[in-house]
Amino acid sequence: MPAPWEIRSVRWRDLPALRQAFAEAFADYTDYIYSTPEQLLRVGGALLRKFFARVKDDLCRRASCLAIDPENPGRVIGAASLAPANGAVRRLPENATQLQPVFVVPGWRRRGVATALVSEVLGRLWNAGQEVLISGCSDYNVVSKRWHLAFGVTEERRYYARRPLFYWARNELWRRAYLQKTRGIPFEPLDRAKLERWFMALADELDTLEREEPWFDQRQASSESQRVS
Ligand SMILES: CC(C)(COP(=O)(O)OP(=O)(O)OC[C@H]1O[C@@H](n2cnc3c(N)ncnc32)[C@H](O)[C@@H]1OP(=O)(O)O)[C@@H](O)C(=O)NCCC(=O)NCCS
């Protein structure tokens, strides 16, 4: 059965419809929860300007795709756009591309649109000789994480995706201690010990993940040169 939507390359004249779809798709997104619709339009506009600033035959532009409502050819229902990822890659292969971002408007979700978009993007990258597509997702963005895992990604834990969990755990320790003190709700020693053990393990994990980030050596080098001078 053919898909009930059209997938095609992104064109300059799609900009207004893409910006509108971006604002709709990210309205319920964890990172933008306090943004107004106008702010989301601006965020989407800035991202798209960067995208269209690339030359027309740049691979990121050629391989990016959008999906169109079959009953309304002017309406974008989702997109998978690309940006170079070299700066974010530490291990080989150095020449990789990243999804930035993939999104589908709420009324079209769970019908396979994102899967179809990213499959098409992967096919185009493969035909152009690229074997790696990177996509970032925070641990707390459950929907996005589930989509990525269902798509079959190889998960690699990175510093920025795990760091919010550390702050959540720290807050939870404070919250439980506060509830015990002010409301008499017991924070059982065993529960406390378990949470603290997890918190310490998370701190160690973050130290390791931070050292693996591409920017870590540069930051160390610049703070050492400041100490010397
Ligand atoms: C994440 C997103 C792109 C998924 O788009 P979609 O078109 O609904 O995804 P698909 O229909 O291709 O989903 C494929 C599979 O992913 C998983 N999945 C997708 N959405 C899910 C959800 N809300 N809850 C649980 N699993 C989900 C399921 O396994 C699904 O298969 P199923 O429907 O047969 O169970 C969409 O929800 C979205 O735009 N979210 C807001 C923007 C965003 O978070 N983008 C990612 C930025 S990192």
pLDDT for position 92: 59
Amino acid occupying residue 195? L
Separation between Cα atoms, residue 125 and residue 64, nearest integer Å: 9
Cβ of 113 below 6 Å from ligand 1: yes
Query: What are the CA-CA distances from residue 57 to residues 7, 62, 72, 142 (Å)?
Result: 19, 6, 28, 35
Cβ of 112 below 6 Å from ligand 1: yes
pLDDT for position 3: 67
Residue 58 in tokens: 């740049």
Cβ of 118 below 6 Å from ligand 1: no
Domain boundaries, the chain: 6-151, 159-228
* CA-proximal residue: ligand 1, atom 44 (nearest): 144
Point out the ligand 1 atom lying closest to the alpha carbon of residue 78. 39
> What pTM does this model have?
0.87
Residue 121 contacts residue 63 (beta carbons within 8 Å): yes
* CA-proximal residue: ligand 1, atom 26 (nearest): 146
CATH architecture, range 6-151: 3-Layer(aba) Sandwich (3.40)
Point out the ligand 1 atom lying closest to the alpha carbon of residue 144. 1
Cβ of 80 below 6 Å from ligand 1: no
Beta bridge partners of 104: 78
Burial class (CB within 10 angstroms; exposed 0-12, middle 13-18, buried 19+) of 163: middle
pLDDT one digit per residue (tens) for the chain, 229 residues: 556 899 999 999 999 999 999 999 999 887 788 889 999 999 999 999 999 999 989 999 999 999 999 999 999 999 999 998 876 666 656 678 999 899 999 999 999 999 999 999 999 999 999 888 999 888 888 899 999 999 999 998 889 888 988 999 999 999 999 999 999 999 999 999 999 999 999 999 999 999 988 788 777 777 777 766 6
Show the DSSP H helices in the chain as ranges.
15-25, 37-52, 59-63, 113-127, 142-151, 159-183, 189-212, 216-228
